[in-house]
Structure 1
Amino acid sequence: MTTETQGLMQAAAEVARKAGDVALDFFRKGVTVDIKGDGTPVTVADRTSEKTAREWIEARFPQDGILGEEFGETRKEAKRRWILDPIDGTKTFIRGVPLWGTLVAVAEGERILAGAAYFPAVGDLLVASPGAGCYWNDKRTQVSSVSELSKAVVLSTDERFIQSPERGQAWRALAAKAHMDRTWGDCYGYLLVATGRAEVMVDEFLSPWDAAALQPIIEEAGGVFTDWTGVRTSFGGNGIATNAALATQVRELLGANTRK
């Protein structure tokens, strides 16, 4: 692991912790919910958390760009940028359920240099960088070795999110073959895959701030992260995360190509 890689992993983890702990201060406090133009909810916790992350990054990496869910993009021309989701799972957060997280990634173009996912309400932190491994609470973690779909746990954020009839049918076919299907959703599902407690997590819709931190986490844990066409990317608008043993079979069942 190079010094630069180690530094970016540490930085991503630190800013995820700081921003996530700010959001945690608002958790289960009855915050007011606003609805954004796209119909999704937002609270003062989302905004304050992202502001905290931006201030931290601006103070230490003033030349870098920042792309965040709540406040858009700054310094689009920058070679390197930070990609932020202050609360991934705002609907979960609003209902007082602890399965939400703060996501931070560092990227050059579409190449992710480091990613961190912090789950303040349950005390979990994942951090990874290509070639450096994936760490769960400072210890190396890996996906499961389950190779039979009949023994697998498959997850999605919400079956209603799979709006395409064709993809919805494909998901139901996959779920019917699995040992268990659940909607432990948003970034928490990817935590379960990366730590070997589930084998598959799918989302039909993912923004870059949803996916960028998760790609290196899944891949460095030994899994496979692609969009629904089988391309390894955080910018495909959707995502399929699996362990390696089931990667091809799952993508075939979902109608996705299996290019790596």
Structure 2
Amino acid sequence: MAARARGIVLRHYAEPPEVEDKADLSPVTKADRECEAALREMIGARFPGHGIFGEEFGAENAEAEFVWVLDPIDGTKAFITGKPLFGTLIGLLRNGVPFLGVMDNPVLDEVWAGAPGLGARRNGEPVRCRPCPELSRAWLYTTSPQMHQGLDFGSFEDLRHQCRHAVYGGDCYSYGQLARGRADLVCDSSMQPYDYVALVPIVEGAGGRMTDWAGRTLGLKGDGTVIAAGDPRALDLALAALRG
């Protein structure tokens, strides 16, 4: 599935994309829609009893035991402006819990995968998170400080001030860098399930942990907050910082 999605995305990436605004004013391109439609077609043909939850075309049979969660282009703004860190996210929930995840970064030629028994892999090679027992040593990623609204912004700032450095941008690719030991925390909010479900098995397969800001398991229902840590000790400290 990721290979077919990559072909569609790269074909559109080669030319300036046609951009529309959704009702919430977030951008969408023809590539987003064509890619998700292709993924849905493949899932329907091979797994007709499975549900699907996608960014562009919504949910169908979302109460099924297995539900595919799709973001055809995570980082649409990056895609539009030629920044190569966007990716296609393909996640699978089993009874509401993230079970399998694939992230394809087509311009960088990187495929990340995580699943029980597989661990986490980048282009077929195992990756592992690094230890980080103290926030004062932590490199923190967030997609953008603008995504943290209201109380979320204050909570994020409480965490940021306790970390060694904060790095902005990266979208889904930030979670890959955490999984391979190049960062210690990723903290985002205003997220939708298709933004994070595929990333949970990758991060946790690499030895990390990923929850919402209250420490709850991530699934289709949530408040949009996400915190990922390469070291479980850092997650506990980050959750305490986010609570103030």
Short-chain TM bin: over 0.9
Q: 1:131, 1:42 → 2: CA distance?
A: 36
How many percent identity over aligned positions? 37
* Residues 139-192 of structure 1: per-residue CA shift (max 9 Å, x gap): 11111112232332101110011112x332232232233222111232111111
Shift of residue 77 of structure 1? Answer: 5.0
Question: Which residue of the partner structure matches residue 235 of structure 2?
Answer: 247
Structure 2 match to 1:11: none
SS at match of 1:254: helix
Task: Tell me if the contact between 1:20 and 1:87 (Cα under 8 Å) persists in the aligned partners.
Answer: no
Question: Matches of 2:160 and 2:187 in 1, distance apart?
Answer: 11
Aligned twin of 2:121: 135
Evaluate the alpha carbon distance shift between residue 76 and residue 204 of structure 1 in structure 2; reply closer, same or farther with a 3 A threshold.
closer
> 1:95 corresponds to which residue?
81
Contact 1:194 1:221 in 2 (8 A): yes
TM-score, with normalisation over the residues of structure 2? 0.92
Of the three residues 185, 197, 200, the one matched with 1:212 is 197
Query: Contact 1:226/1:234 (CA < 8 Å) preserved in 2?
Result: no
Mapped partners of 1:242, 1:136: distance in 2: 18
* Pairwise CA RMSD: 1.7
Q: Identify the match of residue 110 of structure 1 among 86, 96, 109.
A: 96
1:177 pairs, out of 155, 162, 180, with 162
1:161 matched residue in structure 2: 147
> Structure 2 CA distance, aligned partners of 1:208 and 1:179?
29
Point out the more displaced range, 151-160 or 58-67. Answer: 58-67
In structure 2, give the amino acid aligned to 1:243.
G
Residue 64 of structure 2 contacts residue 95 of structure 2 at CA under 8 Å; is this kept in 1? Answer: no
Question: 2-side partners of 1:226 and 1:64: how far apart?
Answer: 25
TM-score (norm 1): 0.87
Within-5 A mapping of 1:39-118? 39-76=25-62, 78-118=64-104
Aligned to 1:246, the other structure's residue is in SS state helix
1:28, distance to aligned residue in structure 2 (A): 4.5
Instruction: Give me the whole-angstrom Cα distance separating, in 2, the residues matched to 1:97 and 1:231.
Output: 32
Contact (CA 8 Å) 2:129, 2:208: kept in 1 or not? Answer: yes
Secondary structure in structure 1 of the residue aligned to 2:56: coil
The 8 Å contact of residues 227 and 234 in structure 1, kept in 2 or not, is answered as: no
The gaps in structure 2 that reach 5 residues or longer are none
- How far did 1:78 drift? 3.4
> Which residue of the other structure, out of 144, 167, 183, is the alignment partner of 2:130?
144
Deviation, 1:127, is 0.7
Q: In 1, distance between residues paired with 2:152 and 2:240?
A: 12
Q: Structure 1 residue 63: deviation in Å?
A: 2.1
Write out aligned runs for 1:12-51 (5 A): 15-51=1-37
Deviations 1:70-114 (A, max 9, x none): 111223453322111000000111111001010001122312221
Does the CA-based 8 Å contact 1:153-1:178 persist in structure 2?
yes
Instruction: Give 1:112's aligned amino acid.
Output: P
